[in-house]
Amino acid sequence: MTIKEILEIESTNTSRINLFKEGIFWRVYQKSAYFFTKQIKDLKVLKKFYKIVNCEVVYAGFPDTILPKIQEVVQSKRFKFQSHNEKYCSILNFEVDNNFEQWFQSLSLFQKTISVTDGGIIQKIKEYPVFTKTPLETVQFVAEIQERLNKV
């Protein structure tokens, strides 16, 4: 599911936690992330600007292997867990509060620690022919990158 489709679902969300499977992780976005962290389990939440939808989005996630434990928590709290298909689940019947906007505003925007102007380092990494280099050459390359980053 695309971020645009997820945001459309979340824009009308008032009382459910939507879980979306992405690879080996389950993710919760926007209000679902808020409800999940308040009602189910505290997770590290990231706030990121998505160019494709031209807005900031909050999300959190957990590995697929943890889903059975999440289901146990849901059941112990007498919430309702619905599995719609292998890539989408939802949680219902929890107490809803309307503090999402305040919570959203309190989160800081995720910033990458390396900028694309750091002496072309990112480009060097992208272009490095790792499959044709020896382990020693690769270690030397990483050492060079580290040295350049320490100067920044």
What are the residue boundaries of the structural domains of the chain, listed by start? 3-106, 121-151
Which CATH fold topology does 3-106 show? MutS, DNA mismatch repair protein, domain I (3.40.1170)
pLDDT of residue 113: 52
d(Cα 18, Cα 14) in Å, to the nearest integer? 11
Per-residue pLDDT reduced to its tens digit, 53-79:
999 999 999 999 999 999 999 999 999
| pTM score | 0.72
d(Cα 35, Cα 27) in Å, to the nearest integer? 13
CB 26 within 8 A of CB 20: yes
Average pLDDT taken over every residue of the chain:
90
